[in-house]
Amino acid sequence: MKRVSGWVASAAAGLLAVPAMAGEDVDAKLAEMQELVQGLQQKVEAQDEQIEHQGKLLQDAQRVVRADEQGSLSGLATFLDSIEIDGAAIASYNINMNNGDNDASVNTGSPNNPGANSGQSGLFLPYHQDDNTFQVDQIWFGLGKPATEESRGGFRFDLFYGAMASFYGTGIFDDNGDDSSRRASRDSTSDYAIDQAYVEYIAPIADINLRMGKFATPLGAESNRQWENFNITHGIVDQMQPVNHIGLIGTVPIGDMVELGAGIVDSGGSSISAPDDTYEKSYLATAKFGNDRGNVRGTFVYGSEPSITLGNSIGDQVGLADVTAFFNPSDNLSLWANYDYLFNEGTGYYANGIALAGRLGIQDFGVAVRGEFVREHADGSGNTLLTTSVDNESDIWTLTGTLDYALTEHLTVKTEVVWDRVDGNTSSSDCCEFGSGPGNYKDKDQYVWLIAAQYVF
């Protein structure tokens, strides 16, 4: 029994010794694994630190890129915000109540044919010349960046297509030349004109505004931008005035109520898009007193103008004195007056003209009236600008009534009646300025009815 017990005891001791030896190996392995894990953890921590550092560098780079992009976008946005875009689409229909038939033959000497509304001189209703006609008055597109004290450089560009552009493309209507080509040119779908194209700068000294290029004339009360006027048509006093000038003009504000200006231009009497007429220049001076509620402007232009020498030699000195007054006593009532004195020193021609106009708005409706009187004195050869075949002088009367209604915020319809009368031109076999049926000019009066639709943006 003692042997058995000893053997059992020895075996038990051996079995107990094996786990003890195994425990020592496991501890060693665990220690080794712990060292390995610690090493890996240190490497991971080092990589994390490196990734974090690189992430910070990337964020700094992104901030720089975003700042540059934001700066570029901000500069572009600022420039785009400063750009002004405007314009209009205007179409009309008119009929001359004097004319008894609608002979389709092209004969500019026949008053019911192309140009009939314009009388013998071609300057009455010049942008609505053709009787019983639908037409595109203007498709206008303008853009520009005005010069300001914050951004002293600027520009302006205005391009338009339509009957007015066609009129300036063919020149003043007359009885001579190839009538077929004149008619084709006036009806061409490619007729367009540049009203303004100039660069602008406001000098830091006295805020002097300088414009060089083609700019709208400061003379007159009616605008080439037809939708800005009370009426569909332009008046006869407007035909005494230049349309725009090519040259340099500077204006300077004096306080809030005074503006003075002076300029040197290629021509003071040129039509739209006209090149330099002579080697000489014309000069203009202008002064404005008042604000948007009411103001008076006086302008004088003087120089060599062969375009209105009335058949005499180039080099005649022509002058035009113009005074306009605008008064807006309320948001619904607007009034203006315009006086012109035109003279030619070389020929003795001169003319005085005055126009008065007003518009009263009642909600979406408006009613406007324009009345005019012009007295022309012929030159030594009996030549005149606005009328034809006068002995010594003629008197011109016009009266225009217009109703307008705003269909939408941007779309307006207008209807208008125009009465023109000329007294004094009796030396021609066709005694008078206006047509009275086909083939003759036998009437001192004419009546024209028009309707127009305009969309302004």
| Sequential DSSP letters for 106-135 | --TTSTTSTTGGGTTTS-SSTTS-SSSEEE
Question: Which of 51-65, 193-207, 249-263, 432-446 shows the lowest mean pLDDT across its residues?
Answer: 51-65
Check whether residue 154 and residue 14 sit in a common domain: no
Q: Alpha carbon of 392 to those of 144, 378, 389, 395, 402: distances in Å?
A: 47, 5, 9, 11, 34
Check whether residue 74 and residue 87 sit in a common domain: no
Residue 383 above 90 pLDDT? no
Check whether residue 55 and residue 101 sit in a common domain: no
Question: Which of 19-33, 162-176, 433-447 shows the lowest mean pLDDT across its residues?
Answer: 162-176
Check whether residue 280 and residue 324 sit in a common domain: yes
Q: In this structure, what CATH number is given to the domain that contains residue 288?
A: 2.40.160.10
Domain count along the chain: 2
Check whether residue 73 and residue 91 sit in a common domain: no
Residue 208 above 50 pLDDT? yes
Check whether residue 418 and residue 270 sit in a common domain: yes
- Spell out a b/e string for 193-213, using b for 16 or more CB atoms within 10 Å of the CB, else e: bebbbbebebeeeeeebbbeb
Residue 155 above 90 pLDDT? yes
- Higher pLDDT among residues 67 and 363, named by residue: 363
What gap in Å lies between CA 238 and CA 338, rounded to an integer? 9
Cα of 218 vs its chain's centroid, Å: 15
What is the three-class DSSP state of 414? strand
Check whether residue 25 and residue 117 sit in a common domain: no
Residue 376 above 80 pLDDT? yes
Given 42, 61, 82, which residue is the final one in a domain? 82
| Model confidence pLDDT, tens digit, residues 85-105 | 999 999 999 999 987 554 444
Check whether residue 381 and residue 399 sit in a common domain: yes
Q: What range defines the domain where residue 119 resides?
A: 83-456
Given 15, 49, 82, which residue is the final one in a domain? 82
Q: Mean pLDDT over residues 32-46, rounded? A: 75
Check whether residue 41 and residue 55 sit in a common domain: yes
Given 63, 82, 101, which residue is the final one in a domain? 82
| Model confidence pLDDT, tens digit, residues 120-144 | 888 899 899 888 899 999 999 999 9
What gap in Å lies between CA 223 and CA 31, rounded to an integer? 98
What gap in Å lies between CA 406 and CA 21, rounded to an integer? 107
pLDDT band at 179 (very low <50, low <70, confident <90, very high): very low
What share of residues in the chain are helix, strand, coil (percent, to 5)? 25, 40, 35
DSSP 315: T
| Model confidence pLDDT, tens digit, residues 231-270 | 999 999 999 999 889 999 999 999 999 999 999 998 776 5
Check whether residue 303 and residue 392 sit in a common domain: yes
Check whether residue 92 and residue 64 sit in a common domain: no
Per the CB < 8 A criterion, the answer to whether 267 and 242 are in contact is yes
- Higher pLDDT among residues 272 and 168, named by residue: 168
Mean pLDDT rounded to a whole number for the chain: 81
Q: In sequence order, what DSSP letters do the residues of 1-54 get, joined into one string? A: -HHHHHHHHHHHHHHHHHHHHHHHHHHHHHHHHHHHHHHHHHHHHHHHHHHHHH
Check whether residue 67 and residue 170 sit in a common domain: no
Give the N- to C-terminal CA distance of the chain in Å, as an integer: 123
Question: Quick count: other Cβ atoms within 10 Å of Cβ 125?
Answer: 29
What is the reported pTM? 0.78
Residues β-bridged to residue 198: 156, 213
Longest dimension (CA), the chain: 171
